[in-house]
Structures are given as structure tokens and as C-alpha cells.
Amino acid sequence: MVYYNEKLETMPKEETARLQYQELKALLDRVYRNSAFYHGKMKEAGVSPDDIKSIEDIRKLPFMKKTDLRDNYPDKLVCVDREDLVRFHVSSGTTGKPTVVSYTKNDIEMWADAVARSLTACGLGKRDVIQVCYGYGLFTGGLGLHYGAEKLGAVVIPASTGNTERQIELIQDLKTTAVAGTPSYFIHLLDVAKKMGVDIRKDTNLRIAVLGAEPWTEEMRRYIHDISGVTAHNIFGTSELSGPMFCDCEEMHGTHIHSDIAYTEIIDPETGEPLPPGEKGELTITVLKKEAFPMIRYRLGDVSSILEGECPCGRTSPRIDRITGRVDDMLIIRGINVFPSAVEHALLKNPFLTSHFVIEVSRKGRLDDMLVRVELKPEAMTDSINGLMQMQAVVERTLRDALNVAARVELCPPNSLPRFEGKAKRVIDKRVI
């Protein structure tokens, strides 16, 4: 078995717990001293770093949620001097305000290290050519995989998204052995290759795909293998944790969360109580090694469970099961997080619309398709078809700007969309995953 860092990855449980405790203690001392936010939050919960005497005591600490990031936009959660920051990433937030995450040099290093370990667990190494088909930019996917693959010593092709025919030429010409990207984009890529008459098995060296940023299934893994011979691995992470970080190993049974980097809990979303392995609940992660932007007991909103037993690969880190859903109403569209509340917020900018809307998500071919149905205000009626189409285009633009993902817009007559008493059901998700 090949490990990237054998000592840390196969460390016995007791030793791991000691190491985790040391990391947590150092982290708490630091944030308690340096961050008004964490200090206040711990004070409010009646807990100080001295109350934490073992890693299990982590349960005494208050949770963090996405709303904490929103409320402290853009940089009130930053725990280091401004001059120590080296990067920001930005993703869509819950109310139209984006979520900003920041990094020190060590944070970037830690993130790359986590990715390098994960890629090794998938069976990749120095001799591989990894084509990164995640978007490069504010989204963490592109640069996250890029730095991790470089750290591993592999050759990186920073292909980013789109221009699929060219991507397939690159896979052939540069002898790409692995692709990283979203599962829907990878399946699209396989479809395009087929149309171009390119047989992945015979005409390329492609053997591994590292896929993430949106939910997918074991069925999709089998389908990919059947049509292309490519072994697809699941990579997991969110911008709050750093970005994509954790993968399943060659056993392909659960995502390993490196224990020296992060502490994993599954909690009951109602009571906040930690649940034992095997039980489903809300995934909650503490990144033990973050400097700029610590995340302590961060509730991701994803539903998963910690798998029981040890992994035959020899890694002692806990494994989480595939994400089976969300505890909130967040949608993932082509790898981008979309909150219905952010859609609502963006629509408010258009004075010719009523406040009612419906989001319909489906798949067009292999790709996610988001349709937002909006209502025209009666007084905004114009006799001009061009004028109405322009309104539609303006709404499409405001949504794209706010969400970083394209949505189709349908202008509907006043009072034609459903009204809700109590909790609105504005999302119709027709995708089968």
C-alpha cells in the first residue's frame, strides 16, 4: 500500500486522539486570544480553552454555521494579521451575500497536503498526468486540485471547464491519466468523446477520475466504469473547510477524513448531540490546522454517517458515507451551491417582478439545468415582445451575477405561481441521482 504520509495516515487511535487534542488546544488558545468572534461565542457558551481536557471535550464547544460566515462578512472571522493572508476564495452565500474564505501560506500548504494524500489514496502519484477540469477562480475546485496535484509531484494540466472537444484532444495528446472535475461534467466529457469517435480505453491513457462538488452515486461510478473503464473516486470538501480535500481510497468505501487535519462528528441536527458510527446525521467538522479562518464544529448541512470498522487500506482515519442529502434547502447546481434565499434576494432587484417564484431543477442530457419561473407585475405589462424578452434577460443576468451559475428564466403571468401558507416549497428538484 502506498501512502503519502504513512506515519500520520496509519497512526494508532490513541496516538491520533492525543495529537488531535494537542492541535485543538493550540487552536482554541489562539482563537480565544485573537478573535472577538470565537471569544464571544465561547463566552456565550460558558466554555474556555481550559475546560477542554481531551478531544472528546470538543462537544462542549459551540457550533458554527453558514450564517456565522454571512453575519461576519467579509473578514470578521479572520484570526491572523492582514499581512499574513495570501488568498481569498468566494462562494455563493445564503442571502445573496457571498461567503468569503481566507488563507495563510500555511493554510494553502495544509490544503495541498490534504489533497496530495487523498490523490495518493486514489492510486495516483508522481508519474500521473492530472487534467483539472474544475473551474479555476473564486471557486475552490480548480486551484485546490491544482496545488494538491502539484504537491504530489504529478503533471498538472490546468484545463478548467468547458471547450470539451479540446479537453479530449489534450487527454490524447498529453497522455492524461486522471481527470478531476464534477461528475456531471465528466460524464458529459465521455459523451462528447464518444461522439468524436474517441475510445477512452483504446485511444487514451485515462484510468482515474476524481469527482466531486456535487452529489453522485455508486450507480454513476459503475456506469462510468462500464462505458470507459475509468475508476471514479469521490472527493469531498467545501470552501469553508478549505476546498476539496478528502477522497475515498482504492477500497472505494467511504471518504477518509485525515484525522490530524480535521475532527469529524455526526450530530443529531435537532439536539446537536453527537451520534455513534453508523447513524445518519449532520456532518460536523473541525479543521484542526487552519490559521486564517478556523472552522470549529462547523455544521456543513450535509447528511452522512461515519462508517463502522476499519478500512482494509490501513488508514486509521474515519470514513464518512456518501452524502445522501441536506438538512437545509441548499441546492447544488453544476457543482455550485445555490440557496433559494439567494435566488429570492437576487429577484428582489427586479422591480417588475412580484415576490413569487419557483425553482425547477432537472437534467438536460447529463448536465444540471435550473429554471426559475418568475411572475410579472400587472403594472409592468408592456405591449412589446422585445420589452418582455428583455425583462427575462435582465433577470437571467441578475441571477447569474448573484449565483455564479446560469439559470433559465420564464416570465409568468401574475398570480400564476403557487402561493404558500407557512413554509414555502419553492424548489422542485426533478434530478435523479
Partner 1 sequence: MNEEYIIKQLSIFSENKAGKLAAIAKIFLDTGVSIQAFNIAEANNFGVIRVIVDKPEVAFEAFAKQNYALKYTDVLAIKMQDVPGGLFEAAKLIGELNINIEYAYAFRSGEYGALIVRVANPGEAAKALKKAGIELIPAANYHF
- Binds partner 1 (CB under 8 A): choice among 389, 401, 418, 430: 389
Alpha-carbon gap, residue 266 to 328, rounded angstroms = 16
To partner 1, the closest distance from the beta carbon of 336 in angstroms equals 24
CB 184 within 8 A of CB 217: no
Instruction: Please identify, using beta-carbon distances, which residue of 205 and 392 lies nearer to partner 1.
Output: 392
- Binds partner 1 (CB under 8 A): choice among 40, 312, 378, 418: 378
Alpha-carbon gap, residue 321 to 315, rounded angstroms = 16
What's the half-sphere exposure (Cβ side, CA atoms, 13 Å) at 356? Answer: 14
Interface stretch with partner 1, choices 71-79, 265-273, 404-412, 418-426 (CB under 8 A): 404-412
Identify the three-state secondary structure at position 429. Answer: strand
Alpha-carbon gap, residue 70 to 95, rounded angstroms = 8
47 binds partner 1 (CB under 8 A): no
Interface stretch with partner 1, choices 42-50, 71-79, 247-255, 406-414 (CB under 8 A): 406-414
123 binds partner 1 (CB under 8 A): no
Q: What is the DSSP letter of 290?
A: -
Q: Which three cell numbers stand for residue 224?
A: 462510468
To partner 1, the closest distance from the beta carbon of 389 in angstroms equals 5
Q: Which three cell numbers stand for residue 43?
A: 463566552
Q: Tell the residue number behind the cell numbers 488558545, with chain if given.
A: 29
173 binds partner 1 (CB under 8 A): no
Alpha-carbon gap, residue 374 to 55, rounded angstroms = 50
Alpha-carbon gap, residue 103 to 82, rounded angstroms = 10
Interface stretch with partner 1, choices 81-89, 302-310, 336-344, 387-395 (CB under 8 A): 387-395
390 binds partner 1 (CB under 8 A): no
Counting Cβ atoms within 10 Å, is residue 153 exposed (0-12), middle (13-18) or buried (19+)?
exposed
Instruction: Please identify, using beta-carbon distances, which residue of 364 and 423 lies nearer to partner 1.
Output: 364
Tally of CB atoms within 10 A around 348: 12
To partner 1, the closest distance from the beta carbon of 378 in angstroms equals 4
CB 361 within 8 A of CB 343: no
Residue span 348-377 as binding mask against partner 1, x where in contact by CB under 8 A, dash where not: ----------------------------xx
432 binds partner 1 (CB under 8 A): no
- Binds partner 1 (CB under 8 A): choice among 362, 415, 418, 425: 415
Instruction: Please identify, using beta-carbon distances, which residue of 14 and 383 lies nearer to partner 1.
Output: 383
Residue span 227-256 as binding mask against partner 1, x where in contact by CB under 8 A, dash where not: ------------------------------
407 binds partner 1 (CB under 8 A): no
To partner 1, the closest distance from the beta carbon of 414 in angstroms equals 5
In the chain, how long is the greatest CA-to-CA distance? Answer: 74
Size of the site for partner 1 (CB under 8 A): 19
If phi over 0 gives left and psi between -120 and 50 gives alpha, with beta otherwise, what is residue 163? left
392 binds partner 1 (CB under 8 A): yes
Instruction: Please identify, using beta-carbon distances, which residue of 355 and 415 lies nearer to partner 1.
Output: 415
CB 358 within 8 A of CB 428: yes
Q: Which three cell numbers stand for residue 152?
A: 504530489
406 binds partner 1 (CB under 8 A): no
Tally of CB atoms within 10 A around 387: 12
419 binds partner 1 (CB under 8 A): no
- Binds partner 1 (CB under 8 A): choice among 416, 418, 420, 428: 416
95 binds partner 1 (CB under 8 A): no
Least Cα distance to 129 among 215, 50, 206, 56 occurs for 206
62 binds partner 1 (CB under 8 A): no
Alpha-carbon gap, residue 158 to 45, rounded angstroms = 45
418 binds partner 1 (CB under 8 A): no
381 binds partner 1 (CB under 8 A): yes
- Binds partner 1 (CB under 8 A): choice among 26, 413, 418, 425: 413
Instruction: Please identify, using beta-carbon distances, which residue of 7 and 364 lies nearer to partner 1.
Output: 364
Alpha-carbon gap, residue 172 to 186, rounded angstroms = 15
- Binds partner 1 (CB under 8 A): choice among 90, 198, 411, 427: 411
324 binds partner 1 (CB under 8 A): no
Instruction: Please identify, using beta-carbon distances, which residue of 245 and 391 lies nearer to partner 1.
Output: 391
Q: Which three cell numbers stand for residue 284?
A: 460536523
Strands (E), 201-329: 208-212, 231-238, 243-247, 255-256, 262-267, 281-287, 298-304, 319-320, 325-326
The residues of the shown chain that bind partner 1, judged by CB under 8 A, are 376-378, 380-385, 388-389, 392, 410-416
